[in-house]
């Protein structure tokens, strides 16, 4: 049972973390249709949550797996998780490279509000006694 648990933990890191990071990065660079400011904020918050979760799991899962493998006396899984520590660093370097290529930060970005400007229904006279521009 401990081998299955350690294997599940390892493969969750190996496949789950890159999946979350890729989804977060794709969402970050995409231009979603967000017709209102609330929709744009919700999209940005979800993207932040996916990226933050991926980055946190990238650190926690290899360290936790290594600790559990050492406590369980599993030499093979200890080697796997020791290698995963190197992979963890590589994933952070890859995300840092992608972050350096963007114009804004990876998290905290809210897409532009695509709500149209309200129509002008009244005119406020310009100071100096002239009438409204355009008639």
pLDDT on residue 33: 77
Tell if the pTM clears 0.75, that is, is over it.
Answer: no
| pLDDT tens-digit series, residues 86-122 | 999 999 999 888 888 876 667 776 666 666 666 766 6
pLDDT on residue 109: 65
Counting Cα atoms < 13 Å in the Cβ hemisphere of 45 gives 6
Question: For residues 44 and 134, which has the higher predicted lDDT (pLDDT)?
Answer: 44
Q: Which of 81-85, 94-98, 127-131 has the highest mean pLDDT?
A: 81-85
pLDDT on residue 98: 86
Q: Cβ distance 111 to 38 under 8 Å? A: no
| pLDDT tens-digit series, residues 44-68 | 889 999 999 999 999 999 999 999 9
């Amino acid at each position: 049972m401990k081998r299955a648990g350690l294997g599940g933990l390892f493969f969750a890191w190996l496949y789950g973390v890159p999946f979350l990071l890729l989804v977060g990065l794709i969402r970050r660079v995409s231009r979603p249709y967000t017709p209102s400011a609330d929709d744009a904020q919700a999209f940005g918050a979800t993207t932040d949550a996916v990226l933050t979760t991926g980055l946190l799991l990238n650190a926690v899962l290899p360290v936790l797996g290594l600790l559990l493998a050492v406590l369980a006396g599993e030499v093979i899984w200890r080697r796997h998780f020791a290698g995963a520590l190197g992979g963890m660093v590589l994933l952070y370097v890859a995300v840092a490279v992608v972050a350096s290529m963007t114009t804004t930060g990876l998290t905290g970005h809210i897409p532009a509000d695509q709500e149209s400007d309200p129509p002008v229904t009244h005119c406020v006279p310009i100071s100096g006694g002239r009438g409204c521009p355009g008639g």
